[in-house]
């Protein structure tokens, strides 16, 4: 954000002074996104920070997702809004291994990003100027070779869906300007900003019904909701409805990329000021803003194809955990195991009822939530039909919705 000119020197100096006051001078850049006192005191991102920057050809919304395992639910919320992901890996000896080996967060974040709908990753191998690395090609290649098989296993194609870059973020090397031969003679690729600038955005669903999953809300001389418009177009003055509570409202004001606008299109991260809302506290994260003529379906029960990713115990009907789907976080119960699935995902016909599943199994199951949530089948709308299951701080399964009700 600084090297692209979207943070001025005066603002950066303020961040530097704030960081120095807490004896953390190297954290000045982090303070641009970690704005609350808890995050600055702990040195950990807790909530998804939001900001903007522009390159020569594109305008970007930055969603700074937390990396710590205690805040994975917030990371999922950020990833579900993202078009592309930037995965930051530390090249420092021991640090990469801690993040990637079993128990580290790198593996879980790659898996969750894919499940949340991120189709492209820029993998930034950071801290290449560290004393234990010193721009070593061997160390860079080691990180790439260890990550690539897991990327493939998670559904990313390492050579097509992933862009690999060595950088030193703190010194700014390979962020805006490409590396020079005197710094890193073996890498001749583009810088991070050049790479982002040239990436193709995903297909925008302009001609579909308007769907805005609400990420957050607040009251500022009226009700304001925030989120990323996934499909359709919303114009100032539109008559809308918030599902599943069927709350009618109208769009009074649109803040798009930090500036006032008359309309919003798919891919825009927006703040909408709404009129006609009697009780703004009724609105929750996970609710869906739609046009009144095309409300989104909602349900308490659905059939899904579920892959059990990691679970120490067997899972039987009656098992409860936490469901994450777009911006919805809700308790869920597996009420019935319908059929085991083969490696291709097709149900296996059997006269015997499925009594339990364990780690590595794929199963068709009926899931129930205590109150209605806005979802679609994966076939109808991928972003609203893929989900994650978490229990005791771990992601235990992933799945796609096959039918509602």
Q: What is the C-alpha separation between 54 and 267, in angstroms, rounded?
A: 15
Give pLDDT, residue 402.
92
Give pLDDT, residue 42.
59
> β-strands 288-291, 386-391: how paired?
unpaired
Give pLDDT, residue 36.
62
Same domain flag for 33 and 62: no
Same domain flag for 167 and 220: no
Asked whether residue 1 is assigned to any structural domain, the reply reads no
Same domain flag for 37 and 51: no
Tell which residue, 149, 288, 143, 146, has the closest CA to residue 213.
288
Same domain flag for 163 and 133: yes
Give pLDDT, residue 155.
82
Q: Which domain holds residue 251?
A: 212-291
Give pLDDT, residue 67.
63
Give pLDDT, residue 288.
92
85-119: string of b/e by CB count within 10 Å (b at 16+)?
bbbbbbbbeebbeebbeeeebbbbbbbbbbbbbbb
Same domain flag for 284 and 315: no
Same domain flag for 178 and 309: no
- In order along the chain (405 residues), what is the average pLDDT of each group of 10 residues? 78 79 72 64 63 80 72 70 84 81 74 80 89 88 87 82 88 87 87 87 83 86 87 91 91 85 87 85 88 92 88 84 87 90 80 82 91 91 87 84 89
Give pLDDT, residue 37.
66
Q: Does the predicted model carry a pTM greater than 0.85?
A: no
Give pLDDT, residue 154.
80
């Amino acid at each position: 954000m600084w090297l692209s000119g979207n943070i001025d020197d005066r603002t950066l100096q303020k961040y530097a002074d704030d960081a120095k006051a807490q004896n953390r001078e190297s954290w000045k850049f982090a303070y641009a996104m970690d704005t609350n006192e808890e995050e600055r005191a702990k040195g950990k991102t807790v909530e998804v920070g939001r900001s903007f920057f522009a390159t020569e050809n594109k305008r970007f919304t930055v969603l700074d997702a937390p990396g710590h395992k205690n805040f994975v639910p917030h990371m999922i919320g950020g990833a579900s809004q993202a078009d592309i992901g930037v995965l930051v890996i530390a090249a420092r000896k021991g640090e990469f291994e801690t993040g990637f080996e079993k128990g580290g967060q790198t593996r879980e974040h790659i898996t969750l990003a894919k499940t949340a709908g991120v189709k492209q990753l820029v993998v930034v191998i950071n801290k290449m100027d560290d004393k234990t690395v010193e721009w070593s090609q061997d160390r860079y290649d080691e990180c790439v070779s260890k990550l690539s098989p897991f990327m493939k296993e998670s559904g990313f194609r390492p050579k097509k869906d992933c862009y690999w870059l060595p950088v030193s973020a703190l010194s700014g090397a390979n962020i805006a300007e490409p590396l020079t031969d005197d710094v890193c003679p073996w890498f001749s690729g583009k810088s991070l900003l050049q790479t982002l600038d040239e990436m193709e955005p995903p297909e925008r669903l302009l001609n579909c019904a308007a769907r805005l999953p609400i990420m957050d809300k607040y009251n500022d001389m009226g009700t304001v909701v925030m989120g990323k418009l996934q499909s359709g177009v919303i114009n100032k003055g539109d008559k809308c409805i918030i599902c599943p509570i069927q709350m009618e409202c109208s769009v009074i004001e649109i803040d798009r990329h930090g500036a006032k606008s008359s309309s919003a299109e798919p891919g825009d991260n927006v703040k909408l000021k709404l009129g006609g809302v009697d009780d703004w506290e009724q609105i929750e994260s996970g609710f869906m803003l739609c046009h009144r003529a095309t409300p989104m379906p909602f349900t308490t029960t659905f059939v899904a194809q579920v892959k059990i990713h990691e679970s120490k115990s067997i899972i039987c009907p009656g098992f409860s955990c936490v469901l994450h789907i777009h911006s919805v976080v809700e308790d869920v119960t597996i009420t019935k195991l319908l059929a085991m699935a083969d490696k291709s995902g097709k149900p296996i016909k059997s006269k015997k009822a499925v009594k339990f599943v364990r780690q590595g199994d794929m199963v068709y199951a009926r899931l129930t939530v205590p109150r209605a949530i806005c979802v679609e089948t994966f076939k109808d709308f991928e972003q609203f039909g893929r989900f994650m299951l978490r229990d005791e701080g771990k992601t235990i399964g992933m799945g796609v919705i096959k039918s509602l009700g």
